[in-house]
Structure 1
């Protein structure tokens, strides 16, 4: 698809449920009004590397279930209003230019199964409220500027299969619960500043009755 100006999207129907424009060579500023469409459940813009925009400060489309802005030029802060997306299942903001601390309201999105915030400039500590996201299968926080101790939340993330937070500035001790997680198949905490011992692993066989 040839390059398309983002402002050509401003007249979309207010009844729109799904909008998929992955890898369409979109350029220019993404119309913020699209985030406010009252029935929108799916918005995918991945791979439009000349498309820029910012997350809304208010009035997100609350029915939204799938939001993918990865590999675009979206930037700025992620505002507390993202917590209004109570139906959200998948959130992919990887390879963007977001900055600042993660809003506390993000941890209210308890229906999330997929969360990718990798390759941005997010900073600050990751809250222990991450443990609220008990439905997560996939978590990626790679290559940001997170610091402080990584919260010991894996005991509450019982459905997590892949967890990655490499190339940040985490310090302190490795989270012990990550090493006794039955479902976890991949864990990458490399390129951080952890110290101390690797926690003892308690091998468990889920089907074994004791």
Structure 2
């Protein structure tokens, strides 16, 4: 049974595997992950990475919301809570990226100067299962994080490598602060920021 299609709820450990399935579906052909995740056994690697970041980053150190019986999910890191560096540098993570690990590291280092210098809500990942897209679930799981950013008076920040997403996020008050190409022939990537208490979606 699908829960309230327009509403989101905080995710918990029992949701992890369904969320990983959803995010793997949403990111199957995404330029960023195609660039940073090895092509061999790509679907398995992609799902495992989404599970890793939701389980190892989102739940313990950030916030995760889900909607539509886990057909959509958003994972945020939050200001004031530091994720231990080893979470992002451990051998398990490098193994999941495979032979693209150096490219993933290079991409992160390249984008670092464009990221907020003050504490902000960082939208680490968001996705809607392909067969459930177009039903408002993306907005449903995005909205709670934006409301929390407004409540705490912080900026919200994200990066996307899909130009269609830029228009979607602009509806919620995000503005592009950088439009770059990742080094070595990587995908075009937009860095976007939303100031607190921005008007509702247009």
Higher strand share: 1
Higher relative contact order (CA 8 A, sep 6+): 2
Higher helix share: 2
Q: TM-score range by the shorter chain?
A: under 0.3
TM-score by length of 1: 0.26
